[in-house]
Amino acid sequence: MPNSVTVERSPIEQYLRKQQELETPVARFAQRHDAGGPAMEPYYRDLIPLTQPQPGEQYAFEVDLDACTGCKACVSACHSLNGLEDEETWRDVGLVVGGDRAAPYQQTVTTACHHCEDPGCMHGCPVLAYEKDDVTGIVRHLDDQCIGCQYCVLKCPYDVPKFSERLGIVRKCDMCHGRLAEGEAPACVQACPTQAIRISIVSKTAPQADAPANRDFLTAAPDPDYTRPTTRYVSERPIPDNVRAADAAALRPQHAHTPLVVMLTLTQAAVGLQTAAALAGHPLGVELVSALLLAAGLTASILHLGRPLGAWRAFLGLRRSWLSREIVLFGGYAPAFFGLLAVHHVFTPLPSMLWVPLTVLGWLGVASSMMIYHDTHRRFWHWPRTTLRFFGVAVTALLAGLALLPGDGVWPLLAASALVLKLAGEFAPLLSSHRSVPTRLMRGPLSGWACARALWGGAAVFTWLFAAVLASPALAAAGVGLFLAGELCERVLFFKAVDAPKMPGGFTA
């Protein structure tokens, strides 16, 4: 065989072959980075997770209290990116104070929506305008579904949803879910100069389990057991047991919600008068007054909505929202009452048994109204107080309706007695030494409303007492007018004197 011949490669071919065996500078840098880590690694961290939450987990805000300076860069960034109105904020900065003279404690706190595990806003909405994402756990508000009833504002213990007068809807933080989906940090996270805010992944079953210092969510914040907020507030410093919000002692009269004042008072009085008429043989005058009050009350309720044309969707939340149940109950009660009233007095008298389901429906409507406010978990609206006020109006109106009929003076006397008991229950807290927020409000900024309520109520009591002595239906009717005036004042106090929970705010003047 002939000897093999070795063919030498040209220099260019040798260089190309050698280049294929060498690592690129980028590859060498990547290997060195993975092996040793960057020199500045102790001074930075990822602001958002690089992976999506697994089943049983969700995204959550994490706030490093030690890093928060209260600069409000997060507030400005959130406002700018989301195009909020001048007075609208989805993120706020507050202050908590505590400790003692030897070791005082002061800490700024940045807060936004906590994207709760069991969000009260979502469960209260009558039109299902809230949804909690199954993957990320973010609680989103669906603007196109909202009718502006503002019940979510009452249900949220952290004062998160904000009502826009211009748009007629409520809006809130959505954790910039669009940015997160593209791998970008939310506006507040990205804007914080000290990296005090980040997005973390927490367990849905124990959202505070990983918090190293404050396992109880945030001291001086509303009780987390209600909605189970997921925001984690971490700190290396010990937090004193007596820490409180800087504005904890501030008196803040709440919004009066005038349409609701009128609606609640008149619908409850209408149910009482309708019941009285059913018991007394359907006198036309009493039933007409009841129908007029009911129509006026339901008309006023429409004025409370930011988008009343969407109110027909209120049945969507029937399974979980007491507001939805109230709307459905009174939505059935009113036309049934008006229809039976017309048939009974225009065509032919109806048997008494036909009025029983109607009456039951009306009282169920009053009960649902009571549950709407009890379900907000606000102490001033707990069911004993709210039952006294709401059913007190209906029962007193029932007795007053019977007092409008000719006869002896027992019914005006009973109406006066019922109103005295109601007044005693309302004003008893004012006479105690307990300095609750509603008591302080009614003794202070709302004292004028409290006096007006007492004067109108007292005038109704004395008018009914005179009606009982004189057996005068005319005086009894005058007493009904005074009674309604007093109840309107009471309902204003019901809304304005409530101690509305919220996250810590700053010092107030």
Q: What is residue 41's predicted lDDT score, i.e. its pLDDT?
A: 41
Domain end call among 181, 212, 245: 245
Same domain, yes or no: 106 and 237: yes
Half-sphere exposure of 486 (CA within 13 A, CB side): 26
CATH of the domain at 164: 3.30.70.20
Of 311, 483, 504, which is closest to residue 397 (Cα–Cα)?
483
Q: Are strands 130-132 and 139-141 parallel, antiparallel or unpaired?
A: antiparallel
Same domain, yes or no: 180 and 241: yes
Q: What is residue 42's predicted lDDT score, i.e. its pLDDT?
A: 44
| 44 pLDDT above the threshold of 60 | no
d(CA 377, CA 382): 7
Output the CA torsion sign for 168, 172, 174, 178: positive
| 75 pLDDT above the threshold of 90 | yes
Query: How far does Cα 163 stand from its chain's mean position?
Result: 11
- pLDDT, one tens digit per residue, over 455-468 is 999 999 999 999 99
Lowest mean pLDDT among 3-7, 91-95, 188-192, 444-448: 3-7
Q: What is residue 209's predicted lDDT score, i.e. its pLDDT?
A: 46
Total domain count for the chain? 2
With tokens 């969510």, the residue in question is 217
Give CA separation, 299 vs 13, 229, 308, in Å.
91, 37, 11
Q: Mean pLDDT over residues 153-177, rounded?
A: 95
Same domain, yes or no: 207 and 312: no
d(CA 93, CA 108): 7
DSSP state of 238: P
| 372 pLDDT above the threshold of 70 | yes
| 214 pLDDT above the threshold of 50 | no
Same domain, yes or no: 403 and 293: yes
d(CA 260, CA 271): 16
With bands split at pLDDT 50, 70 and 90, how would you rate the model's confidence at 415?
very high
Lowest mean pLDDT among 46-50, 119-123, 129-133, 335-339: 46-50
pTM of the model: 0.87
Report yes or no on 16 lying in a domain: no
**Residue 98 is inside which H or E element, if any?**
strand 92-99
Half-sphere exposure of 504 (CA within 13 A, CB side): 23
| 403 pLDDT above the threshold of 60 | yes
Domain end call among 181, 211, 245: 245
Same domain, yes or no: 166 and 283: no
Q: Mean pLDDT over residues 229-248, rounded?
A: 91
Lowest mean pLDDT among 211-220, 314-323, 449-458: 211-220
Same domain, yes or no: 270 and 124: no
Q: Mean pLDDT over residues 345-349, rounded?
A: 89
Q: How would DSSP label each residue in 445-456?
A: TTHHHHHHHHHH
Same domain, yes or no: 239 and 383: no
Q: Where are the alpha helices (DSSP H) in 144-197?
A: 151-155, 177-181, 187-191
d(CA 195, CA 200): 13
Buried b (16+ CB within 10 A) or exposed e, 213-238: ebeebbbbbbebebbbbbbbbbbeee
- Residue type at position 461: V
Six-digit token string for 404:
């409008």
Q: Mean pLDDT over residues 353-378, rounded?
A: 96
Look over the chain and give the mean of its residue pLDDT values, rounded to a whole number. Answer: 90
Higher pLDDT, 141 or 436: 141
With bands split at pLDDT 50, 70 and 90, how would you rate the model's confidence at 172?
very high
Q: What is residue 20's predicted lDDT score, i.e. its pLDDT?
A: 64
Of 223, 217, 237, 37, which is closest to residue 111 (Cα–Cα)?
217
Report yes or no on 504 lying in a domain: no
- pLDDT, one tens digit per residue, over 295-311 is 999 999 999 999 999 99
Domain span at residue 97 reads 57-245
| 245 pLDDT above the threshold of 80 | yes
Report yes or no on 375 lying in a domain: yes
- pLDDT, one tens digit per residue, over 184-205 is 899 999 999 999 999 999 988 6
| 497 pLDDT above the threshold of 80 | yes
Are 494 and 461 contacting, i.e. CB atoms less than 8 angstroms apart?
A: no
d(CA 246, CA 505): 6
| 102 pLDDT above the threshold of 50 | yes
Q: What is residue 430's predicted lDDT score, i.e. its pLDDT?
A: 85
Domain end call among 245, 279, 295: 245
